[in-house]
Amino acid sequence: MAGNWKMYKTPAETVAFFEKFRPLVENSSHCEIVICPSFTNLQAAVGAAKGSAIQVGAQNVAWAKEGAFTGEVSGPMLNAVGASHAIVGHSERRQYFNETDETVLKRTQGALEFGLTPIVCIGEVLADRESGRTEAVLAGQFQKGIAGLTEQQFAKIVIAYEPVWAIGTGKTATPEIAAETHRAIRAQVREKFGKDAADSVRILYGGSVKPDNAKVLMGQPEIDGVLVGGAALDPVSFASIVNF
């Protein structure tokens, strides 16, 4: 159960969130919990999560260890502040910051090389869905991105399926649509990495996940977890999703 805070919250607001959130998920041993704040809040989040099972992730990661890459933050830097995960290839990065399947692959490899668990995002836009091209688009993102990993690398990633038309719009994919799309992604995985990899990879759903739809989404066997934006900013609502 992962929360993507996007570009929200200060360090003080981060600490305040954890104070309220921690007791609400103290007994939530049925799942892993990851919160991904902005880079500037990572240290505060790791400190505030200390002693709990809550893990902290970044929202992006560079492919290089260090160097002349203004504005980038590397895997070793994230490790050094105690982050364990990194979101890679979020649709907002693809849409506004020219992230491509190629850079998504490089960043995923960068995360893995430096011991972070990448949460690799794929998803179609509304026009793709409406023109019946969803599976082709996802297959393209998979082939050009994730499929470039080795089997050993693939075994360490988490995939997040986020239909772009469902992000921040209040339009959730129906559980059936989400499950069907997860099945199609899993079929791609099976074809490239084999049955065991397909059976064990975790595929999260993201896009307008809220306390009132988390249970039915999580009720789909194909959906292994969720990547939550807006509803993860509030401790009570994210805890209620975690404890669906």
Residue 111: which of 137, 72, 68 has the closest Cα?
72
Q: Please say if 162 is a catalytic residue.
A: yes
Single out the catalytic residue among 32, 90, 124, 182. Answer: 90
Query: With respect to ligand 13P, which residue has the nearer C-beta, 35 or 228?
Result: 228
Which of 67-75, 94-102, 182-190, 200-208 is the region at the interface with ligand 13P (rule: CB under 6 A)? 200-208
Q: Which is nearer to ligand 13P, 22 or 210 (CB)?
A: 210
Number of chain residues interacting with ligand 13P (CB under 6 A): 14
Contact between 168 and ligand 13P per CB under 6 A: yes
190 within 8 A of 146, measured Cβ to Cβ: no
- Contact map string, positions 61 to 100, toward ligand 13P, x by CB under 6 A: -----------------------------x----------
Name the one range near ligand 13P by CB under 6 A: 22-30, 77-85, 174-182, 229-237: 229-237
Task: State the catalytic residue, choosing from 32, 99, 124, 162.
Answer: 162
- 18, 229, 235, 238: residue in contact with ligand 13P (rule CB under 6 A): 229
Q: Is 34 in the site for ligand 13P (CB under 6 A)?
A: no
**Between residues 73 and 121, which has the closer beta carbon with respect to ligand 13P?**
121
Which residues bind to ligand 13P, rule: CB under 6 A? Answer: 4, 90, 162, 167-168, 206-209, 227-231
